[in-house]
A = this chain, B = another copy of it.
Amino acid sequence: MISLAELQRRIDAGDLSADAAIAQSLEATSAHEKSIGAFVCRDESLRAQSAGPLRGIAVGIKDIMDTAEFPTEMGSPIYRGFRSRGDAAVVMMLKQAGASIVGKTTTTAFASIDPTPTLNPHNHGHTPGGSSSGSAAAVAAGMIPLALGTQTGGSVIRPASFCGVAAIKPSYRLLPTVGVKCYSWTLDTVGLFAAGVDDVARGLSAMTGRPELLLPPDIPTPRIGVVTQDFAGAPDASGGEALRIATRAVEKAGASARALDLPEIFAEAWRAQPIVQEFEAHRALAWEYREHYAQMAPLLRAKLDESRNTPPVAYDEAIKTANRARQALEELFDEVDMLLTLSAPGAAPRGLGSTGDARYNRLWTLMGVPCVNVPAHIADGDLPVGVQIIARYGADAAALAAARFVEDALRRQ
């Protein structure tokens, strides 16, 4: 993979020009794109900007985000050839930090669950996950050092886990969703994929102009709560193994890691998440669903068919449950600095029939808390499996530092 941090160091030191860094990404992309299929469209004559912390960094943008220079097709024939007038807010944040937009990455239709043709770079017989399929795969294949995705259920953390890359789903609204196709306004969150935790932190810090998001020189030892999310069912063997490996590693590195039983309100919130998600999707995608029903992707359409009669009162109750759980989670974080849990049930499923299961992600998206994926284990078939580090709402710097602690502990094993 291409490390953003390493590129920054070489560019800053004058060992590499920003244009050469971009050229390197273009070359790597050309080399791998044919076998992976991570992009919808690309700028093959991309140039670097001359200034900014992300100069020389080629970034892939999930194709539900508006871009003035590329079509935005939402992974759906309904938006074939659609041109937005401007750039999404997060695209402008990248440009203003000096980055270059290399192209649009594949997305499941409207960031839902119908798979794209993108292959998992670690094993072409498996899905890269979704819905941010192309962004995760492009970083994993070493094409580009940074990519943007979005998560409504588990669309950033899950593909990152399947593809063996670091990723952050920041606190809700740390990154604006302006110009990003909405599925659920309470849940949709823009996230970043990169080679490692430091790379992700540098990307997020540069985009937001928040230096406090950079990793500190000395990473503190976090108090860790290990959470198995039993309400979501049991994981696969490989998912359980990844969590055990990470737990052993952080204990060996000197952290206390105690098993936490989440109170019942979290199981309720976990059950409430799909109600919020689909109720809002019926409003956000009303035009597509009503006017282009025949062209809707089949799995998404079936999900919308199923949830079409959810009454407002059920939605209101789900929102209230979420608010109670957020309160309870605040209190939980008085006892621990981070939660360590599964990023996905296990390694990427075989084939391209499914993008995997968001059941270990959806609670945390509803909570709005920062979540980071760190690769922890390689399962049969050379398939990566990650673990998820979660911190308090708004504590994105703490989440990144804790994730770095876990990443370090796993490396030193």
Contacts and interface: CB of A to CB of B under 8 A. Distances in A.
The 6 closest A-B pairs by CB, nearest first: A86-B287, A92-B286, A178-B182, A87-B287, A89-B283, A178-B284
A185 B179 CA distance: 11
Interface stretch (A77-85, A235-243, A357-365): A77-85
A288 interface: yes
Contacts of A89: 283-284, 286
A177 interface: yes
Interface in A136-194: 173, 176-179, 182, 185-186
A289 to B, nearest CB: 9
A291 B68 contact: yes
Q: How many copies of this chain does the complex contain?
A: 2
A247 interface: no
Contact of A85 (B82, B87, B210, B312): B82
Nearest to A213: B312
A290 B182 CA distance: 24
A209 interface: yes
Given A79-B85, A85-B78, A208-B312, A290 B176 contact: no
A93 interface: yes
Nearest to A186: B173
Interface size class of A (residues with CB under 8 A): 20 to 34
Contact of A93 (B91, B283, B291): B283
A322 to B, nearest CB: 13
A182 to B, nearest CB: 4
A308 to B, nearest CB: 11
Contacts of A210: 312
A408 interface: no
A280 interface: yes
A178 B187 CA distance: 13
Contacts of A176: 182, 185, 280, 283-284
Contact of A286 (B93, B177, B311): B93
Interface in A267-284: 280, 283-284
A85 B87 CA distance: 16
A25 interface: no
A286 B87 contact: yes
Contacts of A208: 312
Contacts of A92: 283, 286-287, 290
16 contacts: A68-B287, A78-B85, A79-B85, A86-B288, A87-B286, A89-B283, A89-B284, A91-B287, A92-B283, A92-B286, A92-B287, A95-B290, A176-B182, A176-B280, A176-B284, A209-B312
A96 interface: yes
A314 to B, nearest CB: 12
A283 B178 contact: yes
Interface string A205-243: 000111000000000000000000000000000000000
A76 to B, nearest CB: 10
Given A92-B290, A209-B311, 15 more contacts: A68-B287, A68-B291, A78-B85, A79-B85, A87-B286, A89-B284, A92-B283, A92-B287, A95-B290, A96-B290, A173-B185, A173-B186, A177-B185, A179-B182, A179-B287
Interface in A290-325: 290-291, 311-312
